[in-house]
Amino acid sequence: MLTDPRLTADAAAGAPDPTPEPGKHDAEIDRMFGPGGPLSPAVGGFRPRRSQTEMAKAVAAAIDGRSTLMAEAGTGTGKTFAYLVPALLWGGKTIVSTGTKNLQDQLFLRDIPTVRAALQAPVSVALLKGRGNYLCHYHLERTLQNGRMTSREDVGYLREISRFLKMTSSGDKAELARVPENASIWNLVTSTRDNCVGAECQYYQDCFVMKARKEAQQADVVVVNHHLFFADVALKDTGVAELLPSANTIIFDEAHQLPDTATLFFGDTFSTSQVLELCRDVLAEGLAHARDGADWGKVVTVVEKAARDLRLTFPQDIVRLSLPQIAPSSGFFPALETLKDELDGMLAVLEKQGERAETLDQCRMRGIELATALRDWKFDPKAKVASGEEAVYWVEAYTSSLQLHKTPLSIAPIFNGQREGVPRSWIFTSATLAVKNDFKHFAEQMGLTGEPARTWPSPFNYEQQGILYVPQGLPDPNSMGYTDAVLDAALPIIEASEGRAFLLCTTLRAVKRAAERLRDEFEKRGLPYPLFVQGDKGRTELLDQFRKSGNGVLIGSQSFWEGVDVRGEALSLVIIDKMPFAPPDDPVLAARIEVMEKQGLNGFMHHTLPEAIINLKQGAGRLIRDEGDRGVLMLCDPRVITKPYGRRVWQSLPPFKRTREAQVVIDFFKGEPPSEPDVSPS
């Protein structure tokens, strides 16, 4: 049997000894997190956890030293309180950035008020979201006047939003539960960076976006999310720019998401949907303020047609191609030139008419920005971005829009530029930052090489609470019919667990096939397990229904691999169909691997595998969420046994008992002790 090494991350990352000198706040932290401390009566079910206390000390030391810390804390450590206590007491002006808006709301509405009350800390707290989350007085009024509703549902939603405006103090659309957050009506009643009228707006004094930014500037602790943080760094349009100079402490929770989020915002993106939105606004403003100035319908129609024709050069629904992969015969390049020409034609009209109204001139400025972005999207895939780093140029087609991307191959130099200047503490924390206790992959992506890294194990007794099961006899994951083979192996286990299962797939195609097959099998076998499938309803609604069912089976892809917390018996089995390797045809990944291999590195071992392991750890983390949870992690990919890299995967997962025998798993669900020893790859 191969035991899970209790290697310290500090040794692996080349950081100081894992038992550093006592910090000046250590005694106070021991008291706070101890049995008689203030957190105990304030937090239901609170019990002292050594990992949590030690992490809090490390965060406090980083705050004191205005230094950087990478902190991996296993599930159940209580990392949120471990960073909030020192941040609220000694962090000065603190920005906490989360991976999701859900966690952002949870921190602001629940966790921070709990800690603040327990510590009696006199700190003010503000929540700051992107402008698209706040109702806009100006655009609501315009939509009410123009009445451009496409459905009866939108008319009802608009009525709800009008009522909401009179009652809300924040304007945050998350407060209006009756209108779904993804309802298309929100696009007409919120502002974007492009169409915000700014200080010229008649409602500027009442603006919810400006109010939220002002509160954030005055608060001691500001809760944002990663998208907002990096959008601001790139666009200077989210309110974080004003916060950064005065911030003493920056904390990134769910930090494993940062490389992808930062890459998104440090690149440039042009979308045909931006062109169509501009055309919509040009038509409305032209008719409102300069009806006699041009044939506005004709002016915008040719641009709209050019944008749609560009999208139609790719007949498939979903496409991701780098520039060299685009066939000259596709018609893409001529269509791109046509769009440039037609956009220039609309701009010429706006140049003449723009002075007739502020809003028309604003459309002209937006048009200039879009035309510049189009011209900058050059046909050289090795062109340099502003920082001098290499970028990859690629296209992404969706059902009704096309995006042109320029993406930096490495965000490390750009992010390091943001961290320079005034010394402050930077805390990066997540349950999954390391691969086999080695932080090298994350550190290199973020430009944090040489910075201290610590890891604290989960307090859960994984060996007693669960089993890792790798079934025998599965075919190669790339073979035809693989999903059906997974389901053949999974069905007896789903029956043994009496539902209560997540099936996490790496592709939407696998989700669809699994849903079809399990519906048929459940009906054929008379199994009473409700099936919940990603895409049928929103994620939150699916999870609520899954929890309430008590014996459901939920099938999902990437959005259910992380940020999902189902405690207790409702979830006792997590099935993962295969290792979550990024698709090999991903243009950005292919370009990164090409650069690595020119440097003599193995792209698979240095990038693709570490990424997949961190994703896999997130999926595995859905199973045991509490000290009382029991369950089985069923990993169906035979490569963790047959490939040389399988050992690295195996050692990065929680130290469950391990088996390849279905009967051992069935006995576990019956409450019987395991009938065979652990197994691992040799």
Pairing status of strand 501-504 against strand 531-533 = unpaired
Predicted local distance difference test score (pLDDT) of residue 279: 94
pLDDT in tens, 202-236: 999 999 999 998 999 899 999 999 988 887 666 55
Predicted local distance difference test score (pLDDT) of residue 472: 94
pLDDT in tens, 136-153: 999 999 888 876 666 788
Q: Which candidate, 153, 169, 261, places its Cα nearest to that of 215? A: 169
Res 18 pLDDT > 70: no
| Mean pLDDT value across residues 445-457 | 93
Q: Which candidate, 611, 639, 677, 631, places its Cα nearest to that of 468? A: 631
| Mean pLDDT value across residues 86-114 | 91
Helix (H, G, I), strand (E, B) or coil at 390: strand
Q: Strands across the sheet with 391-397, in order? A: 268-271, 402-408, 391-397, 319-322
- Spell out a b/e string for 298-337, using b for 16 or more CB atoms within 10 Å of the CB, else e: ebbebbbebbbbbbebbeeeebbbbbeebeeeeebeebbe
For residue 200, count other CB atoms closer than 10 A to its CB. 11
Res 13 pLDDT > 50: no
Place 533 in a pLDDT band, splitting at 50, 70 and 90.
very high
| Mean pLDDT value across residues 379-402 | 68
pLDDT in tens, 582-623: 887 788 888 888 888 888 989 899 999 999 999 999 989 889
Contact criterion met (CB below 8 Å) for 303 and 342: yes
pLDDT in tens, 644-670: 999 999 899 999 999 999 999 999 998
Res 640 pLDDT > 50: yes
pLDDT in tens, 158-199: 999 999 999 999 999 988 888 887 788 898 899 987 788 888
d(CA 474, CA 485): 7
Domains and CATH numbers, the chain: 9-123+220-258+413-456 (3.40.50.300), 131-210 (no CATH), 268-384 (1.20.120), 462-669 (3.40.50.300)
DSSP state of 25: T
Could you tell me which residue, 355 or 439, shows the higher pLDDT? Answer: 439
Predicted local distance difference test score (pLDDT) of residue 383: 46
Predicted local distance difference test score (pLDDT) of residue 84: 97
Res 295 pLDDT > 50: yes
pLDDT more than 70, % of the chain: 91
Q: What is the DSSP string of 391-440?
A: EEEEEEE-SS-EEEEEEES--HHHHHHHH-SS--EEEEEES---BTTB-H
Give the sign of the dihedral formed by CA 609, CA 611, CA 616, CA 617: positive
- Average confidence score pLDDT of the chain: 87
pLDDT in tens, 248-263: 999 999 999 999 888 8
d(CA 209, CA 200): 15
Tokens standing for 589? 């990944």
Predicted local distance difference test score (pLDDT) of residue 492: 96
Q: Look at 14-18, 199-203, 267-271, 500-504 and tell me which has the smallest mean pLDDT.
A: 14-18
Place 2 in a pLDDT band, splitting at 50, 70 and 90.
very low
φ, ψ for residue 417, nearest 5 deg: -60, -35
Scanning the structure block, which residue is given the tokens 């045809």? 585
Chain centre distance of CA 654 = 23
Tokens standing for 635? 């990993």
